[in-house]
Amino acid sequence: MDRQSHNSSAWKTFLLHLHPPKVHSRSIRFTRTFGLGGIAALLFIILACSGMILRFKYIPSVVGAYDSLLTLEQEYIFGHFLRSLHYWSANLLIIVSFLHMIRVLFSQSIYGERKKNWIYGLFLFICILAFNFTGYLLPWDQLSYWAVTIVTSMLSYIPLIGEGLSEWVRGGEQVNESTLLSFYHLHTGILPLFFVCFVCIHFWLVRKAKGVTFVKNQGGEMLSSYPHLVHKEVVAALIVCLVLVLLSLLLDVPMLGKAHPDISPNPSKAPWYFIGFQELLIHFDPSIVVLFIPVITLSFLISLPFYKQEGLHVGVWFNSIRGSVAVKIAILVSLFWTTIYLALSELVLQSWSSEAGNNLVVSVINLLIYVAPLLVFVWGLSRRLKLPGTEIRLVFVAILLSSYIVMSIVAYFFRAEGMEFIF
């Protein structure tokens, strides 16, 4: 064997640890998965590498954090680029892993032996949010300090254990030195360890389930992973790297003034992935928003693979044409109704709630005003289109997602000083 083929066979053998020797041609189509899972894995590797380089310069203490980052950006070549890369990869990871979740769910890839992987996947997504949240505090500027104050204070509204829980997370009554140190440790130590373990399990479970889902009995052939799959992966990886480099070079990472525990900036907003919750807080009682809604949503998502399925079409988008139509209508209706409801809340409901005492009962009524029309809509839609259970559940997920997106957009772009609504 000459030298060249010896080297390439070493690569091939390495890749075969991750990939099966042969894959079905339909499972490696771009529009099957959009490469989202692989892109998420790549982003995590980029984050780990850029994070480790950042660790050379970052000082995890109240005295040193802010200045160490300023020094990195101003006095070290590529310092600004490094921090930007880390920041944009982190935000892109939330979006990509979220889209990956959606793709998996809507292509019916969570059933049968993939049930467990769905649960692990949900847990991985929560880890990603935890990563982003702990990392958000580390610059110790006005933006991070108050965003973390707000989100940890949200925890205190959980009944019975809320106050203890928020003080435990914060390490005190206020965000302080020990908060910074714990968050740093979580961000660079505990979470990466958990995450890597669970990602390995996640990948292994995909292999165990014989790979990506696709519609059977519609032609196609078995191809060898090297070169067919690997080449596509390399192209996708290169595109992702290009996008990240461009983002890091062209767009600025926010860095407000150093954290001032005596002055809250106006407005104080949570990070964009939590800002939908902050919007919810403006409309409903905190214990509903912080406990009831997350618990219901998470339980619903976890339960999805466990219902009895009739007419399950694995690999088909939205399970059927009917499902496809239903989900699209549901998204439009939900976007529309959520916007209307927010306007209704600003103009009418909030003043009514203040007069009525602004208590839990008032909030429940406001929540019912939002939910009831949607339930009626889903009931009507499922009757009209004769939707089976699987499609109905997909409709509910679509509604949840689009309403959260509307809330996030409104809170991010349309709320200014004092969280006043602006247009």
Partner 1 sequence: MSSRRRFIQKLIAVVFSMQLFYILADLFKPTEKQKRKKAGKEEWKTAGQVDEFKKGTLRVFPSDKYFLYRAVDGGFLAMSVKCTHLGCILRLKEDQQGFVCPCHSSEFSALGEVTSAPAKRPLSVFPVRVVGGKVEVDIKNAVKREVGEKTTLIYS
d(CA 176, CA 190): 20
Which of positions 404-423 make contact with partner 1 (CB under 8 A)? 417-420
The stretch among 96-104, 161-169, 180-188, 301-309 that binds partner 1 (CB under 8 A) is: 161-169
Tokens at 399, concatenated: 């509604």
Closer CB to partner 1, 159 or 219, in the complex: 159
In the chain, % helix, strand, coil (3-state, to 5) comes to 75, 0, 25
d(CA 54, CA 51): 5
Which of positions 296-315 make contact with partner 1 (CB under 8 A)? none
* DSSP β-bridge partners for residue 223: 23
Our finding on whether 252 is near partner 1 (CB under 8 A) is no
> Count of residues for the chain?
423
Closer CB to partner 1, 8 or 359, in the complex: 359
DSSP string covering 372-394: HHHHHHHHHHHHHHT--HHHHHH
Our finding on whether 281 is near partner 1 (CB under 8 A) is yes
Our finding on whether 173 is near partner 1 (CB under 8 A) is yes
Q: 412 CB contacts (<8 Å, ≥6 apart)?
A: 269, 272, 275
Our finding on whether 282 is near partner 1 (CB under 8 A) is yes
- Return the residue of 25, 91, 224, 268 that touches partner 1, per CB under 8 A: 268
- Return the residue of 7, 174, 178, 297 that touches partner 1, per CB under 8 A: 174
- Shortest distance, position 157 Cβ to partner 1, whole Å: 9
Our finding on whether 256 is near partner 1 (CB under 8 A) is no
Our finding on whether 113 is near partner 1 (CB under 8 A) is no
- Shortest distance, position 387 Cβ to partner 1, whole Å: 38
- Shortest distance, position 261 Cβ to partner 1, whole Å: 8
Cβ pair 111, 207 in contact under 8 A: no
The stretch among 165-173, 210-218, 308-316, 341-349 that binds partner 1 (CB under 8 A) is: 165-173
Cis peptide before 294 (omega within 30 of 0): no
Our finding on whether 327 is near partner 1 (CB under 8 A) is no
Tokens at 200, concatenated: 């390995």
The DSSP output letter for 223 is: E
Q: 418 CB contacts (<8 Å, ≥6 apart)?
A: 266, 267
Closer CB to partner 1, 47 or 154, in the complex: 154
Closer CB to partner 1, 75 or 417, in the complex: 417
- Shortest distance, position 423 Cβ to partner 1, whole Å: 17
Nearest in space to 107 (alpha carbons), one of 14, 17, 34 = 34
Closer CB to partner 1, 153 or 339, in the complex: 153
Closer CB to partner 1, 93 or 281, in the complex: 281
Our finding on whether 153 is near partner 1 (CB under 8 A) is yes
d(CA 318, CA 327): 7
Closer CB to partner 1, 105 or 349, in the complex: 349
- Shortest distance, position 292 Cβ to partner 1, whole Å: 17
- Find tokens 């692989």 and name the residue: 38
DSSP E strands, 276-404: none
Cβ pair 199, 44 in contact under 8 A: yes
Integer angstrom CA distances of residue 46 from 82, 90, 260, 312: 11, 9, 32, 37
Cβ pair 312, 111 in contact under 8 A: yes
The stretch among 46-54, 162-170, 242-250, 367-375 that binds partner 1 (CB under 8 A) is: 162-170
- Shortest distance, position 120 Cβ to partner 1, whole Å: 22
The stretch among 24-32, 159-167, 179-187, 373-381 that binds partner 1 (CB under 8 A) is: 159-167
Closer CB to partner 1, 150 or 407, in the complex: 150
- Return the residue of 25, 71, 339, 350 that touches partner 1, per CB under 8 A: 350
- Rg of the chain (C-alpha set): 24
The helix or strand, by DSSP H or E, that contains position 364, with its residue range, turns out to be helix 360-385
- Shortest distance, position 234 Cβ to partner 1, whole Å: 46
Angle between helices 115-137 and 191-208 (to 10 degrees): 160
Our finding on whether 25 is near partner 1 (CB under 8 A) is no
Our finding on whether 91 is near partner 1 (CB under 8 A) is no
Our finding on whether 267 is near partner 1 (CB under 8 A) is yes
Give the binding site for partner 1 (CB under 8 A).
Answer: 146, 149-150, 152-154, 160-161, 163-165, 167-168, 172-174, 261-268, 281-282, 350, 353-354, 358, 417-420
